[in-house]
Amino acid sequence: MKPLLKWAGGKARLAPEICEAFAGPCSGTYLEPFAGAAAVALFRLQRGDIGDAVLTDVNHKLIAVHAAVRDHVDDVLEELAAMPYDDWKERYYQVRAAYNDGPFKGPAHAARFIWLNRAGFNGLYRENKRGEHNVPVGRYTRVSIPDESHFRKVSELLRGVHLSADDFRTALTRAGKGDQVYCDPPYVPLSATANFTAYCKAPFGLPEQIALAEAARDAASRGAQVVLSNHDTPLVRDRIYRLDRGFRFHSTPEVSRAISRKGDSRVAVSEVIAAIGPIAA
């Protein structure tokens, strides 16, 4: 099941490989502290690998979108139908201004968020230091929105899933024996010019990367299985997900990604899927 949103570093294509890093289906609660577009969660929910699930993200505006799709999909679809499509480029900044005015909850908010995600440049979500969405208009010929049946399938999969706007520390303290956790944080940059930390107004630098690794170790010590993704760099392997700290490397897939502001400048970059915790359920 593909997510409804385009997302920087989204894991729709890698979801099967990420799932292989877990020791089978989840017997406890499945947690994602960096929910994003929820590609891995939707894949596992559709496959029946998880029952109880908790999806969290520090971006409360994003969590509100998932909640609206889960609880009010008819209203979200109605609001989306009223968005501009013929003259969308001329009205893009009008919609963006309305989005930034809030409120940041409910079907209207979800519709604006999804529309901007599909109409904005390169499918990015970015905020300035004031927490305002500041992605410019995209270069597409039209705005492509998933069809109604797609929305309804995602809504059905999300029913019963707990959603909350928390940081990774709060989310990982909930993990214990039998639980599984997938962490897809903002990645360590490949270069000084490739850093992307404007997903929300709070930064995610090296101290946060190390704190996440330590929180994953703590969860694993309580019996949780934790899988993490990141760029495959010496910093990640030798300092963040260290073998002598209990981490193991499941795989190193190559993915095609834009690493510059030009959406058509895509190259293959290596990622690492790391794991820590029990290797058997």
Contact 65, 115 (CB under 8 A): no
- For 49-74, write each residue's pLDDT tens digit: 999 999 999 999 999 999 999 999 99
Return all residues near 70 (Cβ < 8 A) that are at least 6 apart.
155, 158, 159, 161, 163
CA 258 to chain centre: 17
CA 228 to chain centre: 12
Segment-wise mean pLDDT, segments of 10 residues, the chain, 281 residues: 91 94 94 97 97 96 98 98 97 98 98 98 90 95 97 98 96 96 93 52 83 98 97 95 96 69 63 89 45
Helix (H, G, I), strand (E, B) or coil at 5: coil
Please give the model's pTM, rounded to 2 decimal places: 0.91
Please report which helix (H) or strand (E) contains residue 127, including its range.
Answer: none
Q: What's the first-to-final CA gap in the chain, in angstroms? A: 25
Looking at residue 260, what is its pLDDT? Answer: 46
Domain ranges of the chain: 15-58+166-276, 70-154
Residue listed under structure tokens 């947690």: 31
Return all residues near 152 (Cβ < 8 A) that are at least 6 apart.
73
- Mean pLDDT in the chain? 91
Looking at residue 243, what is its pLDDT? Answer: 96
Neighbours of 147 (CB within 10 A): 9
Calpha distance 277→281 (Å, rounded): 10
Question: Which one-letter amino acid corresponds to residue 63?
Answer: I
Homologous superfamily (CATH) for 70-154: Adenine-specific Methyltransferase, Domain 2 (1.10.1020.10)
Q: What percent of the chain has pLDDT over 70?
A: 91
Contact 69, 113 (CB under 8 A): no
Q: Would you call the peptide bond into 103 cis, given omega within 30 degrees of 0 as the criterion?
A: yes
Looking at residue 190, what is its pLDDT? Answer: 82
Cβ burial 73-90 (10 Å sphere, 16+ → b, else e): bebbbebbeebeeeebbe
Q: What is 15-58+166-276's CATH number, 3.40.50.150, 3.30.70.270, 3.30.230.10, 3.90.550.10?
A: 3.40.50.150
Looking at residue 202, what is its pLDDT? Answer: 58
Residues present in the chain in total: 281
Question: Which one-letter amino acid corresponds to residue 143?
Answer: V
Helix (H, G, I), strand (E, B) or coil at 19: helix
Return all residues near 207 (Cβ < 8 A) that are at least 6 apart.
none
Please give the radius of gyration of the chain, using alpha carbons only, rounded to the nearest integer. 18
Calpha distance 40→154 (Å, rounded): 12
Calpha distance 222→280 (Å, rounded): 14
Q: How is residue 40 written in tokens?
A: 């891995």
Looking at residue 114, what is its pLDDT? Answer: 98
Which of left, alpha, beta for 228 (phi over 0: left; psi -120 to 50: alpha)? beta
- For 104-136, write each residue's pLDDT tens digit: 999 999 999 999 999 999 989 999 989 999 999
